[in-house]
Amino acid sequence: MNVFEAVKQSVTTRQAAQRYGIRVGKNGMAACPFHNDKNPSMKVDRRFHCFGCQADGDVIDFAARLHGIGAKEAALMLARDFSVSYEDRGDAPKNRIRPKLRQESEKQRFERMERHCFRVLSDYYHLLRRWKREYAPRQPDGEWHPLFVEALRRENHVEYLLDMLLSPDIGERAALILDYGKEVRNLERRMAELAAGDTAGRESRGRQRRDAPERP
């Protein structure tokens, strides 16, 4: 098989999306990196399709569009990143070669980091908005939930960072990524821990319901 056939058989778009920093839900939905997607509207499995901007294709199309490179370069990159062997057309069938690929350019690296920061901040911003609604005190003198307090304290700050990432001034966007990169990484870890806690809580409640004795 040539590199295109080998990659398409060995790597799914979902695997590639997760490898390149895109968070994919258990239902296979992700925020589309090809438009300003506020809610997950892209389905990734073996192929991908965005129900918002209609972007569609296979894993090579996805990597090429994500990194702004050609199809051949994207196939070689995927082969390298997922250790996929393939046969070079100019060699004997048993002569397997390792793909060679020029390193990611500074521009591509910056754009990848920019997309990643925007996705993390956007996800956290939507969490804050939800916490602000769901955990608001029901009574004027009611106790304030910690997540409600966090939403009040952080919402404006995160909204400001998102606005900065949409600035036409590339210098401002680069400065934000440099200054707030550690904060974004911490937010990503925090959301992953919250999601893991939610999953564990649902499983625990499910086991309790299954194990509960039936009422006579």
Are both 71 and 113 inside the same structural domain? no
Are both 126 and 148 inside the same structural domain? yes
In a domain, 196, yes or no: yes
In a domain, 216, yes or no: no
The mean-pLDDT minimum among 13-17, 136-140, 141-145, 206-210 falls in 206-210
Are both 60 and 127 inside the same structural domain? no
Q: What is the pLDDT of residue 111?
A: 83
Phi, psi (deg, nearest 5) at residue 42: -110, 125
Question: At 22, which CATH number?
Answer: 3.90.580.10
Q: What is the pLDDT of residues 76-127, one digit of tens each?
A: 999 999 988 887 654 444 444 454 545 557 777 788 888 888 888 988 999 9
Average pLDDT value for the chain: 82
Domain that holds residue 29: 3-97
Which three-class secondary structure string do you get for 78-120?
Answer: HHHHCCCCEECCCCCCCCEECCCCCCCCHHHHHHHHHHHHHHH
Look-up: residue for tokens 């319901």? 209
Q: What is the pLDDT of residues 174-209, one digit of tens each?
A: 888 888 888 888 888 888 888 776 655 555 555 555
Are both 89 and 148 inside the same structural domain? no
Q: Does the global pTM surpass 0.85?
A: no
